[in-house]
Amino acid sequence: MKRRTAVCILYCIVCLNLQTLSSAANAKEDNALLWEISGRGLKRSSFLFAVRNTVDSTFLGRVERFYTTFHAIEQVAVEVNTLNMNPTSLAAVKESCSMKMKSYGAPLMPLDTTYQMLYNASDLAFVNARLTSSIPSYDRYTPYDNAMSYLRHMDPAKRYNAPSTSVGVGMDLHIMNLARNNFKKLTGLVSDKEFLSFKNAIPSPYVLRQSLKAQALGLLLMLKAGEEINSLPDQIDSIYLKQDLDELNVPIDRLIQHVRGTLADISDNGLKKAYTAALMEHFNGYYGLDSQKRVTKWMERIPSLMKKNRTLIAVDARYVIGTTGLINQLRAYGYTVTPVKHK
């Protein structure tokens, strides 16, 4: 289920006709993942770290002065402190998400609907040419199920992990455990109650599959842009490993430009505008392009946290960069935010 969820999210990320992301990366930043926060009355510096949960936690040893900084701080602030949650409550959230996936409906096409009804002759010929060899009897299954099957078919041995939106996994969880094992205070920027009530949830992508016509658009995009879709997570990981924070949006920009052109060339079946709007909403929530509300909410807590304790703020990289990211928001509050370099 976890793998299917990741595939679903990856599929939703790129089926878009969107504005470019240049506005999210206007400010050129230094190549650093760890940033020092000073000024505005702080007696001692706090720090900001850009997390990437799909990158192995052993990478932290390659981040300039990460462990030196970690031992100097008194508190770690993460998006959600899952270690502090009641295991039963946390399991209930995961089960609820899984049930949404399970309850969506059967992957088989309705008996009263055919692919001839979803596509014009040209698009139908294209779909048939691409799927006949890889998915025999593809016309028995919904366009969404075929899109997932096609993605797996391109590289069946590959794990399809979109940049993780899940808190308490990967590098995020490792940093939380580091805090607990080293007797650091650990707090969440989002309260347990807020997280468990789904108030912090990303706009759901499930709406994008409620119509077979919408699924048909998504399948065409997957078939036409599948290779680019497939390579996106690895490209972002590669940039993160180079600690080139300012470049994280580059492959996303490039992919969206490609997808924009692809979608423009697809015939409008009456749902393209609504489908694009729904995908844009999900994309903005997923990648933090519309992160200002979330970051603004965090900024209600961050100043008091840093005033009381020397704090390491560790959040997903997409909430660190850009005009609405934490670097710029902290600076707007009057703090000095500078990359941590070797001393």
CA atoms within 13 A on the CB side of 6: 17
Query: Are 241 and 232 a contacting pair, CB within 8 Å?
Result: no
Domain boundaries, the chain: 2-339
- Give the DSSP per-residue string, 91-154: HHHHHHHHHHHHTT--SBPPTT--HHHHS-HHHHHHHHHHHTTTSTTGGGB-HHHHHHHHHHHH
CA–CA dist 135, 230 (Å, integer): 18
E strand spans, 178-323 = 185-188, 311-316
Q: What is the pTM of this model?
A: 0.77
pLDDT of residue 343: 54
186 strand-pairing partners:
76
CA–CA dist 109, 217 (Å, integer): 16
pLDDT of residue 160: 40
Cα–Cα distances (Å) from 67 to 58, 175, 259, 327, in that order, read 12, 11, 40, 21
What does each of the 343 residues of the chain score in pLDDT, given as a tens digit?
A: 444 444 343 344 333 333 333 333 344 556 799 999 999 999 999 999 999 988 999 999 999 899 999 999 999 999 888 887 666 665 655 555 544 444 344 588 998 999 999 999 999 999 999 999 888 899 999 998 898 888 777 764 444 444 344 545 689 999 999 999 999 999 999 876 776 665 445 445 555 667 899 899 989 988 998 888 788 888 989 999 999 988 888 887 787 778 778 888 888 988 888 877 777 666 665 555 556 778 888 999 999 999 999 999 999 998 898 888 899 999 999 999 999 975 5
pLDDT of residue 28: 53
pLDDT of residue 119: 95
pLDDT of residue 287: 54
pLDDT of residue 265: 86
pLDDT of residue 321: 87
pLDDT of residue 229: 79
- Tokens standing for residue 165: 């939106």
pLDDT of residue 169: 63
pLDDT of residue 286: 55
pLDDT of residue 125: 96
pLDDT of residue 311: 98
51 strand-pairing partners:
316
